[in-house]
């Protein structure tokens, strides 16, 4: 719905492989293990940056991959860790994992780092497997694969300026003449049902983004009208421009002003700390001047800018005042008045280490998080490593469980997508 929304694939680097090696010493046949560990794969990390306002940098990318870790080497040399990839994203960036359909990150602060895809750990070389009993291990691990995710990235920072006010006061009319936005405008309440965004350029070159929001009514903070969800959007704007109708006979601008502020405050007390400007609109209509004088007496602490969106009067003054106000509201100050906690979620399903099911052909099938993890780091071309894999899954309790299920020596068992003979 809003400014930006991009989908792409992010891939962390694989860990480097560990190796099997032995020191060569004269007269010592196996001079002690010396295979080093692989290095860590690079992670893909998002970092909040308040200088960015769009996801444009990501728009034309389909895939971003971090480098792999280096393999270990003989003489117990560790492979180098790969460099992480840092992707700068604007504040308000929300990252959805498309596969699990969950939100995995919500970047709300400058400098906030969120690891989106974790680099794979390096595999251990045979030096790491040396124990007092096994002095010449032949085993090593492959590096773990880096995480890969399909993500949808959405920018939720709505705008610099939010236009608020009762329905029909002229919010959409205003945005339609100060920006290129083309909202529906109508002589009846609730013409606008979803926010419209417009980029406004000021005469001196400054620019800002304005959101025209659906009108609020009394009780909006409790869910009346279209209220509640749009109050959330107001929360994400830096400056509130409060539009009042000065010309329509049956409206009392001051009461309107109080009511809307009451709704804002009920929704989030801190919203009243957000800077406001009052736009006294419809100054082309009769009696508006008297009402303006009246309003100026009633509201003393907020700037009131009289305009007519209809006759396009005094709009330049309004835009300069908005731009000046925005210049002095720091983003930090704005974030302090956001109600939500800084959230940083990662999807961690509570999966069991393994599960055993029976396939259609009556073969037992072992799958699961830990099995996959051990599988990924095993180089099955090396006998010793296959044995290590077998030992590891036995330690998880897989063999015992298979035996309970009635599997006998020599039976076929499927582990992930591969078939093994069960040796008891």
Query: From ligand GTP, Mg ion, none, which one binds at residue 115 (CB under 5 to 8 Å depending on kind)?
Result: none
Binders in 52-111 for ligand GTP, by CB under 6 A: none
Can you say how many angstroms the Cα of residue 299 is from the centroid of all Cα atoms in its chain? 40
Nearer to Mg ion, 166 or 364 (CB): 166
Residue 13 Cβ vs Mg ion, minimum distance, rounded to whole Å: 49
Among ligand GTP, Mg ion, none, partner that 189 touches (CB below 5 to 8 angstroms by kind):
ligand GTP
By the rule CB under 5 A, 168 interacts with Mg ion:
no
Q: Which does 190 bind (CB under 5 to 8 A by kind): ligand GTP, Mg ion, none?
A: ligand GTP
Pick from Mg ion, ligand GTP, none: which does 92 bind, CB < 5 to 8 A by kind? none
Q: How many residues touch ligand GTP (CB under 6 A)?
A: 25
**Binding pattern for the stretch 210-249 against ligand GTP, x by CB under 6 A and - elsewhere:** ----xx-------------------------------x--
- Between 210 and 388, name the residue whose CB sits nearer to ligand GTP: 210
Q: Which of residues 177-216 bind ligand GTP (CB under 6 A)?
A: 185-187, 189-192, 214-215
Question: Is 172 one of the binding residues for Mg ion (CB under 5 A)?
Answer: yes
Q: Measured at the alpha carbon of residue 113, what is the angle toward residues 109 and 117, in degrees to the nearest 5?
A: 140
CA 422, distance to chain mean position in Å, is 45
Minimum CB distance to Mg ion, residue 191 (Å): 5
Q: How far is the CB of 255 from ligand GTP (least distance, A)?
A: 17
The pairing of strands 4-11 and 148-155 is antiparallel
Q: Interaction with ligand GTP in 149-168: which residues (CB under 6 A)?
A: 165, 167-168
In terms of CB distance, is 89 or 174 closer to ligand GTP?
174
Residue nearest to ligand GTP (CB): 215
| Residue found by looking up tokens 């009762």 in the block | 166
285 binds, among ligand GTP, Mg ion, none (CB under 5 to 8 A by kind): ligand GTP
Cα separation, 103 vs 97, whole angstroms: 6
Could you tell me the smallest distance in angstroms from the CB atom of residue 283 to ligand GTP? Answer: 7
Nearest to 162 by CA among 54, 273, 281, 275: 275
Looking at beta carbons only, is 58 or 226 nearer to Mg ion? 226
C-beta of 114 vs 211, nearer to ligand GTP: 211
The interface with Mg ion within residues 189-218 (CB under 5 A) comprises 191-192
Q: Which does 175 bind (CB under 5 to 8 A by kind): Mg ion, ligand GTP, none?
A: none
Least gap, CB of 8 to Mg ion (angstroms): 34
Shortest Å distance, C-beta 242 to ligand GTP = 12
Per CB under 6 A, contacts with ligand GTP among 266-325 are: 281-282, 284-285, 308-310
Cβ closest to ligand GTP, residue 314 vs residue 337 = 314
Binding interface with Mg ion (CB under 5 A) = 171-172, 191-192
Chain residues that interact with ligand GTP, rule: CB under 6 A = 165, 167-173, 185-187, 189-192, 214-215, 247, 281-282, 284-285, 308-310
């Amino acid at each position: 719905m809003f400014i930006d929304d991009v989908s792409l694939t992010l891939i962390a680097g694989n860990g480097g492989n560990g190796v099997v090696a032995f020191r060569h010493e004269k007269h010592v046949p196996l001079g002690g293990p010396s295979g080093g560990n692989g290095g860590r794969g690079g992670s893909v990390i998002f970092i909040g940056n308040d200088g960015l306002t769009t996801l444009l940098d990501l728009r034309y990318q389909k895939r971003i991959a971090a480098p792999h870790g280096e393999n270990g080497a003989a003489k117990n040399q560790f492979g180098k860790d790969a460099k992480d990839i840092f992707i700068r994203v604007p504040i308000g960036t929300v990252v959805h994992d498309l596969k699990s359909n969950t939100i995995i990150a919500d970047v709300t602060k400058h400098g906030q780092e969120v690891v989106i895809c974790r680099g794979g750990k390096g595999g251990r070389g045979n030096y790491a497997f040396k124990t007092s009993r096994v002095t010449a291990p032949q085993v090593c691990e492959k590096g773990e694969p880096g995480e890969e995710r399909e993500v949808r990235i959405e920018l939720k920072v709505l705008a610099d300026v939010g236009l608020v006010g009762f329905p029909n006061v002229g919010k959409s009319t205003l945005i339609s003449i100060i920006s290129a936005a083309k909202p529906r405008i109508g002589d009846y309440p609730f013409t606008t049902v979803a926010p419209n965004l417009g980029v406004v350029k000021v005469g001196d070159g400054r620019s800002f983004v304005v959101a025209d929001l659906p009108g609020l009514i009394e009780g909006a903070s409790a869910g009346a009208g279209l209220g509640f969800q749009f109050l959330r959007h107001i929360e994400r704007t830096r400056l509130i421009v409060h539009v009042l109708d000065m010309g329509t006979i049956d409206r009392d601008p001051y009461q309107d002003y109080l009511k809307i502020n009451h709704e804002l405050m009920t929704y989030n007390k801190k919203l009243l700390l957000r800077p406001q400007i009052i736009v006294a609109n419809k100054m082309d209509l009769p009696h508006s001047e008297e009402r303006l004088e009246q309003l100026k007496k009633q509201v003393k602490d907020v700037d009131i800018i009289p305009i007519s969106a209809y006759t396009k009067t005094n709009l330049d003054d309004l835009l300069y005042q908005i731009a000046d106000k925005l210049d002095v509201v720091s983003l930090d100050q704005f974030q302090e008045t956001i109600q939500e906690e800084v959230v940083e979620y990662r999807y961690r399903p509570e999966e069991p280490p393994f599960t055993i099911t029976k396939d259609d052909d009556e073969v037992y099938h072992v799958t699961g998080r830990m099995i996959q993890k051990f599988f990924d780091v095993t180089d099955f071309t090396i006998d010793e490593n296959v044995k290590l894999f077998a030992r590891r899954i036995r330690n998880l309790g897989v063999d015992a469980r298979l035996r309970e299920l009635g599997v006998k020596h020599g039976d076929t068992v499927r582990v992930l997508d591969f078939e093994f003979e069960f040796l008891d």
